[in-house]
Chain A
Amino acid sequence: MSAVAEQTAWYVYGVVESSFASTLEARVVEEGELAAVVDVVPLAVFGEQALEEHLNDRAWLETHARAHQEVLQEISLAGPVVPFRFGTIYHESDDVRGMLRARETELTTALARVRGRVEIGVKAWAGPPPVQPARAPATGRAYLEQRLGAQERVRAASAQLAETARDSHLRLLSCAVEGVANRPQPRELTGRDEAMILNGAYLVADVEPIRHEIERLSADYEAQGISFELTGPWPPYNFVDEGGEQ
Chain B
Amino acid sequence: MSVLERPRLEEQVTLVELVDRVLHKGVTLTGDIVLSVADVDLVYVGLRVILASVSTLERLEGEAAG
List residues of A whose CB falls within 8 A of some B CB: 9, 12, 14-15, 25-27, 39, 43, 46-49, 51-52, 55-58, 61-62, 65-71, 73-74, 77, 82-91, 95, 99, 103, 106-107, 110, 121, 182, 185, 188-191, 199, 230-234, 237-238, 240-241, 244-245
Q: B15 in the interface, Cβ–Cβ < 8 Å?
A: yes
**B23 and A69: CB pair below 8 A?**
no
The residue from B10, B21, B34, B36 contacting A88, defined by CB atoms under 8 A apart: B34
Q: B40 in the interface, Cβ–Cβ < 8 Å?
A: yes
Contacts of A52 in B (CB 8 A): 36-37, 40
Measured CB to CB, the closest approach of chain A to B25, in angstroms, equals: 4
**B16 and A84: CB pair below 8 A?**
no
Contacts of B37 in A (CB 8 A): 48, 51-52, 55, 87
The residue from B21, B28, B52 contacting A244, defined by CB atoms under 8 A apart: B28
Contacts of A233 in B (CB 8 A): 9
Q: A56-B49, A85-B42 are in contact. Are A69 and B22 (CB under 8 A)?
A: yes
Q: A74-B5, A88-B34 are in contact. Are A231 and B17 (CB under 8 A)?
A: yes
Contacts of A67 in B (CB 8 A): 1
**B4 and A66: CB pair below 8 A?**
no
Contacts of A25 in B (CB 8 A): 2-4
